[in-house]
Structure 1
């Protein structure tokens, strides 16, 4: 018999889980990929896509997580990681080290990325501004 801490096989197809607007940010939509349930909360994997044009972005914050990557699937997003502006485009993968202060401040209308974080119930903590943020690009 498998212990509760063991992970389970999971296979989620596009129609199996809906896009939801009740995630961390109301200007994004999220689609769960079943990994948190399969790993008993050790890891979460979800898709994130633009739902509204960027106005103020995410604000400065950090995550209480042991591991986090973002794999940009479509479009682009501009982040500040500490005081470094970073353009993340389709095909790019970013490993966000634990505790890094960051701000997603601009993104394309077609932005969609895969985010994988451990643990699944990671925390988000607002932090003081590190530096000034460039203005977002208006959607046409």
Structure 2
């Protein structure tokens, strides 16, 4: 017996919503959580508001987490390493890595795939100082 379902989600099947993890991003569910019975979530994430404070230092309780940048860029701190993630880049966030997304472009869009789907986000103590976001020029 299979414990996953076939899933085919078209762009018009789901909408970007503002009720995700961060209020300055919008999220579009791709139907994978339902199809896998909660084993994995896949979602598109887009910039909604200009960066002000960023995500804060945190880690995720997840077995698997990748980010594939589709458009634009984002600047992260992974532990004490500043990392520019640009369109076409793929980042595997190892379980428990402390990180902080602190800057991103107005056109930023990434695909996030995480297992399990109901992963937890835990705030952590700062690892190092964070550069200031550049903001969006008007």
TM range (shorter): over 0.9
SS at match of 2:19: coil
User: For 2:118, which of 116, 121, 130 is the aligned residue?
Assistant: 121
The equivalent of 2:83 in structure 1 is 86
Q: Give 5+ residue unaligned stretches, structure 2.
A: none
Give the conservation status (yes or no) of the 8 Å contact 2:50–2:136: yes
Alpha-carbon RMSD? 0.6
Matches within 5 A, 1:10-25: 10-25=7-22
The equivalent of 1:31 in structure 2 is 28
Task: Report the number of matched residues.
Answer: 137
SS at match of 1:46: strand
Deviation digits for residues 80-100 of structure 1 (CA, Å, limit 9, x no counterpart): 000000000000000000000
Matched, 1:59 2:23: no
Deviation, structure 1 residue 63? 0.1
The equivalent of 2:39 in structure 1 is 42
Give the conservation status (yes or no) of the 8 Å contact 2:57–2:124: yes
Deviation digits for residues 64-83 of structure 1 (CA, Å, limit 9, x no counterpart): 00000000000000000000
TM-score, normalised with respect to structure 2: 0.98
Q: Give 5+ residue unaligned stretches, structure 1.
A: none
Moved over 2 A (4+): none
Deviation, structure 1 residue 102? 0.1
The equivalent of 2:102 in structure 1 is 105
SS at match of 1:36: helix
